Amino acid sequence: MQAAGYFDTVVIDAGHGGHDSGARAVNGAPEKQLALDTARRVSRILRSSGLRVVETRSGDYFIPLDQRVAKSNSLRNVVFVSIHYNWVKRAKPSGVETFFYSARSSRLSANIQREVIKSSGALNRGIKNRGFYVLKNNKRPAVLCELGFVSNPSENRKIQTAAVRQRLAEAVARGILAEKAGRNP
Ligand SMILES: [Zn+2]
């Protein structure tokens, strides 16, 4: 278990970008744009809470996964949080899930998942252990948040709304701050 205050910097990773649009929403902006907007909101909140934030991208351009991880691995006292929206072929699936790989990242994922579920009322798909590239190759505690399905018409309608993304961002930030405080979910 990580001690309270084990990080003072957060690497915020907006998924996709540039030629990689990520998921195509049933309506409205694609995942890359939604993820960037949400990531920027998270960054703003964390900075105003006194944390240092490093963004892997701050615009609509492509960053290879290894460079995203390298940024995290080159820093000390950091956690890495990747922001995504989900997509499946069917219209029905919905909800929020947070992925981690290493055991030392599991509490961070649980802290974020709890706050997002509490604030959004979305279906709780839980925290999941998965070897995604940006998690598996990360030497720092690292999580990947899937903040809802843009393939689900009603969930997508919410996600396409700036006020909803702001609330999601606030919840992700609260989860990160709870982790910094050493809170056990
Ligand atoms: Zn994605």
Q: Each residue of 60-84: pLDDT tens digit? A: 999 999 999 999 999 999 999 999 9
Q: What is the pLDDT of residue 25?
A: 97
Other beta carbons within 10 Å of 160: 17
CA of 35 to the centre of ligand 1 (A): 8
- When pLDDT is averaged across residues 115-134 and rounded to a whole number, the result is 98
Q: Which residue has the tokens 């290493």?
A: 102
CA contacts within 13 A on the Cβ side of 105? 27
Nearest residue to 42 (alpha-carbon basis) of 156, 184, 147, 181: 147
- When pLDDT is averaged across residues 83-99 and rounded to a whole number, the result is 98
Q: What is the pLDDT of residue 1?
A: 67
CA of 46 to the centre of ligand 1 (A): 22
Dihedral pair phi/psi, residue 145, rounded to 5° = -100, 130
CA of 170 to the centre of ligand 1 (A): 20
Q: What is the pLDDT of residue 159?
A: 98
CA of 3 to the centre of ligand 1 (A): 30
d(CA 139, CA 158): 34
CA of 171 to the centre of ligand 1 (A): 19
Model confidence pLDDT, tens digit, residues 38-58:
999 999 999 999 999 999 999
pTM above 0.75, yes or no: yes
Domains of the chain, first to last = 9-180 (3.40.630.40)
CA of 50 to the centre of ligand 1 (A): 28
CA of 49 to the centre of ligand 1 (A): 27
Chain centroid offset of residue 33 CA: 14
Tokens of 55: 């963004």
Q: Which SS3 state, helix, strand or coil, does residue 33 take?
A: helix
Other beta carbons within 10 Å of 39: 27
Nearest residue to 80 (alpha-carbon basis) of 165, 6, 138: 138
Q: What is the pLDDT of residue 3?
A: 87
First to last CA, the chain: 12
CA of 137 to the centre of ligand 1 (A): 17
CA of 82 to the centre of ligand 1 (A): 9
CA of 104 to the centre of ligand 1 (A): 23
CA of 31 to the centre of ligand 1 (A): 7
